[in-house]
Amino acid sequence: MIGPVVLKLGGSLLAIPDLINLLEAVIDRLRPSPVLIVPGGGAAADVIRDLDRKLQLSPEKAHRDAIAAMSYNAALLCRLNKSLRLVRNYDEAKRVWSEGHSAVLDADSFFFSQPDHNNEDSLPASWDITSDSIAGWTARQWQADRIILAKSCDAPETNLSALCQLGMIDRAFATSVGHVRTEWLNLRSRSACFVPVAR
């Protein structure tokens, strides 16, 4: 089987009325590659971030709740599109792909069901780690062929360090994704081009 494509779906895109149609069009363009969608936390994660500022949650608590928001959005996507399948690990994803469907990552189950999720290669509990780095880490762990960062705007720069400095991706992404080929996609654009992002 060819390596999967990880499609990181920015949380702000969840509010687009025609999101499901746009997603289907992107998945069609990526065939025959197997696709893993990793949705961001969106508005729910923003609420958690605001609560953390006010209540000073522990880093572990805030991190876990933000990842749970990603899982909520993953389940929502699967309810909206019956061709998508929620998966908790790579083996489940392989089965879904073999059945001709696209997989959507239940990030909470994936990260916290692993006995070694606190090892040196895992992601630290911090707001420096957003869903971008979580998707990048997953792409590296699953030996993805490429990762596509689907966002709400064009990339103002086409290298990781510049995008990081601009706050378009988090500071840990370059380390998290390793050498997995990275591309940018403005899902709101009519052209919807996959733009290569250099290191």
Contacts of 194 (CB under 8 A, 6+ apart): 148, 183, 184, 185
Indicate the pairing of strand 102-105 with strand 84-87: parallel
Rounded to 5 degrees, φ, ψ at 5 are: -105, 125
The encoded tokens of residue 7 equal 């499609």
Count the residues in the chain.
199
- Locus of tokens 């992601």: 123
What is the span of the domain harbouring residue 55? 5-197
Q: Domain total for the chain?
A: 1
More confident residue, 115 or 88: 88
Give CA–CA dist 4/6, Å, rounded: 6
CA 135 to chain centre: 4
Give CA–CA dist 89/67, Å, rounded: 15
Q: pTM, whole model, 2 decimals?
A: 0.91
Averaged pLDDT score across all residues of the chain = 87
DSSP 198: B
Best-predicted range by mean pLDDT among 3-7, 46-50, 110-114, 116-120?
3-7
Nearest CA among 87, 93, 111 for reference residue 176: 111
CATH code, 34? 3.40.1160.10
Percent of the chain with pLDDT over 70: 84
Nearest CA among 95, 182, 75, 167 for reference residue 135: 182
Q: What is the pLDDT of residue 60?
A: 72
- Locus of tokens 């006995």: 115
